[in-house]
Each structure stands twice: as structure tokens, then as C-alpha cells.
């Protein structure tokens, strides 16, 4: 048994999910400095660093020895589409499975530590199959929490040591928004963009920042320019309800020097300029 975790009884939490079987020992909280400049052996964000480089500085594997690599251990993920990027911190790997499952395993030997399974059934999914098999592109971590974005636009904070739910925020506010990717954490805020914006509704799609410790919403910025806002006139006289699209399909990136967040969006809807009145 790994010395990084201790065995414990499995705990079933009927309302919020399932956790078990162990606990990460000697966990070191993740700081803003660590997110901006991770240890070479850590992978703390979707693209490792907040600026989205996706590059590992490790040098042990080279063109001279790559043919000597052998399988060390394997892990079977849940059924469904696999797009997740695992996070690694201090020898523990955290990964999301299809169906809103998060697991922690020992990165050295593949031993299971804990698992969280969300019991609340998500709504029907119009983006590539039912939610049980829907992929999670990434999870995020900060201080002592792991952050999971769900198909029905909740963000759930889990205790990184044991997988227990710390808070659960309904970012989509029950109007049909979704998440197709996870969050990034910048300056103590959990930041992510909504999808499910193709249908007309009064509430526009948005990029939302939550307090990483409490889950309280701090700010919300619409991804469609509304009447009276900068760029709002590019939609002509089209009422705000019919200004749709601009989903955020992937996580953003962040420059801590200028404190600037960069987020891409999809096309506006309706597509035709004539329909938009521009």
C-alpha cells in the first residue's frame, strides 16, 4: 500500500455523490504562485500553465531512450468519450471520467485513493450523446480543492484529500446552459464559460468567475454584446433575446502580469447577417 494514502471505509453520500476509499496524506495546498510556475513534475492546469503552453519541462525521456519505455501500470476509465487532461500534484493524479466522476490515484503505482460520483441526473444532452458518456475536457485545482464542471452547468468543489463535496454552485441557473469544458483558477477565482447557447432565451451565454473558496459568484460577463454595450450595435436592432451563440467550448488562459483573461467563443447565432439586421 502506498504511503501517500491511508485506507478508510467507503462512504456513500446519497444526495451529493459517492466518495471512498482513502485519503491523500501530507497534501500540500496549491497556491497562485504554483499555478503560475508549477514544479516540473506537476501538471496543475488544463494546459499545465495558466498561459496555456501545454509544455512539460521534464527531460528524462529523450529521443535516445524513448524506445526503452515500458508499461508501468494501467487504469480503466469509465465508458464514454475520453477527452480529459489529468492533473498531477505531488505524486497524485486527479482525473475526470465520463459521467461526472472524479478519481484520485497514486501516479507512481496506479493505486486507487478516492472517487467522487455525482448522483444528480443531468438533463438530456444535444451535443454528442447522453450525459453518462459525455466527456470532461478538464478539471481544475486550487488550494485544497478540485473543481468539476457538470453537464447541467454546476461547478462542484471537492476536497482534494478525500473527494468530499465542499460546495456546489448552479452557474447555469436552471435555464438550460451547459459546460463542455472545465475551469481555470486565477487570482482565487474559478473561471469558465458556458455552452448551450444556441437556443434563444433572455439570459445570454457568459463567462463567470466564482470565489474559489466559497463558490459565490463574483462576476458574470455576457459573451454576446447586448444593447447599449460596446459592440452592441453590431447586432443592429435585434432584441437581446435573439442574440444567441458565442458558446465557450474550451477553458481560457490568463496573464498574471497584466491580469488579463483570454477566452475564445463560437460563432454568433443567427449566422446570417440579414437575420441579425447588420
Residue 96, pLDDT score? 94
pLDDT in tens, 255-268: 999 999 999 988 88
Label residue 270 by pLDDT band (50, 70, 90). Answer: confident
User: Which of the pair, 235 or 140, is modelled with greater confidence?
Assistant: 140
**Residue-range domain boundaries for the chain:** 5-55+79-264
Report how far residue 92's alpha carbon sits from residue 80's, in angstroms, rounded to the nearest whole number. 24
Residue 197 grid cell? 447557447
From 157, 233, 241, select the one nearest 192 (Cα to Cα).
Answer: 157
Given this structure, which CATH class describes domain 5-55+79-264? mainly beta
Report how far residue 133's alpha carbon sits from residue 130's, in angstroms, rounded to the nearest whole number. 6
Residue 79, pLDDT score? 83
Q: Is the pLDDT of residue 117 over 70?
A: yes
- Residue 134's contacts (CB-CB under 8 Å, 6 or more residues apart) are 80, 81, 98, 99, 122, 125, 127, 128, 151
Q: Is the pLDDT of residue 186 over 90?
A: yes
Expressed in angstroms, the distance from the first to the final Cα of the chain is: 65
Label residue 244 by pLDDT band (50, 70, 90). Answer: confident
| Average pLDDT for the chain | 86
Beta bridge partners of 262: 253
On whether the CB atoms of residues 207 and 263 are closer than 8 A, the answer is: yes
- Residue 44's region, left for phi above 0, alpha for psi from -120 to 50, else beta, is alpha
Q: What's the rounded mean pLDDT across residues 194-215?
A: 89
pLDDT in tens, 22-39: 899 999 999 999 999 999
Q: What's the rounded mean pLDDT across residues 196-203?
A: 80
Report how far residue 220's alpha carbon sits from residue 230's, in angstroms, rounded to the nearest whole number. 16
Label residue 126 by pLDDT band (50, 70, 90). Answer: very low
pLDDT in tens, 145-182: 999 999 889 999 999 999 999 999 999 988 888 898 89
**Each residue of 199-235: b (16+ CB within 10 Å) or e?**
eeeebbbbbbbbebeebeeeeeebbbbeeeeeeeeeb
Residue 7, pLDDT score? 37
From 116, 269, 262, 95, select the one nearest 195 (Cα to Cα).
Answer: 269
Total Cβ atoms within 10 A of residue 171 = 22
pLDDT in tens, 74-100: 999 888 888 889 999 999 999 999 889
Residue 8, pLDDT score? 36
Residue 226, pLDDT score? 87
Amino acid at each position: 500500500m502506498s504511503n501517500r494514502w491511508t485506507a478508510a471505509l467507503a462512504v456513500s453520500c446519497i444526495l451529493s455523490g459517492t466518495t471512498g476509499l482513502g485519503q491523500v496524506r501530507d497534501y500540500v495546498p496549491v497556491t497562485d504562485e504554483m499555478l503560475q510556475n508549477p514544479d516540473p513534475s506537476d501538471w496543475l492546469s488544463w494546459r499545465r500553465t495558466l498561459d496555456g503552453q501545454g509544455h512539460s519541462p521534464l527531460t528524462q525521456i529523450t529521443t535516445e531512450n524513448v524506445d526503452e519505455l515500458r508499461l508501468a501500470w494501467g487504469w480503466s476509465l469509465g465508458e464514454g468519450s475520453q477527452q480529459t487532461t489529468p492533473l498531477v500534484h505531488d505524486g497524485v493524479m486527479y482525473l475526470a471520467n465520463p459521467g461526472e466522476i472524479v478519481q484520485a490515484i497514486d501516479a507512481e503505482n496506479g493505486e486507487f485513493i478516492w472517487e467522487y460520483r455525482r448522483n444528480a441526473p443531468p438533463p438530456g444532452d444535444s451535443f454528442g450523446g447522453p450525459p453518462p458518456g459525455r466527456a470532461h475536457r478538464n478539471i481544475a485545482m486550487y488550494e485544497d480543492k478540485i473543481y468539476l464542471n457538470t453537464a447541467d452547468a454546476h461547478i462542484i468543489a471537492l476536497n482534494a484529500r478525500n473527494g468530499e463535496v465542499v460546495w456546489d454552485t448552479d452557474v447555469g441557473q436552471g435555464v438550460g446552459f451547459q459546460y463542455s469544458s472545465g475551469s481555470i483558477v486565477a487570482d482565487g477565482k474559478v473561471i469558465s464559460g458556458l455552452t448551450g447557447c444556441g437556443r434563444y432565451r433572455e439570459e445570454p451565454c457568459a463567462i463567470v468567475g466564482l470565489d474559489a473558496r466559497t463558490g459565490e459568484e463574483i462576476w458574470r460577463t455576457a459573451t454576446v454584446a447586448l444593447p447599449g454595450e460596446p459592440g452592441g450595435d453590431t447586432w443592429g436592432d435585434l432584441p437581446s433575446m435573439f442574440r444567441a451563440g458565442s458558446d465557450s467550448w474550451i477553458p481560457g488562459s490568463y496573464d498574471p502580469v497584466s491580469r488579463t483573461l483570454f477566452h475564445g467563443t463560437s460563432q454568433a447565432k443567427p449566422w446570417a447577417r440579414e437575420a441579425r439586421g447588420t
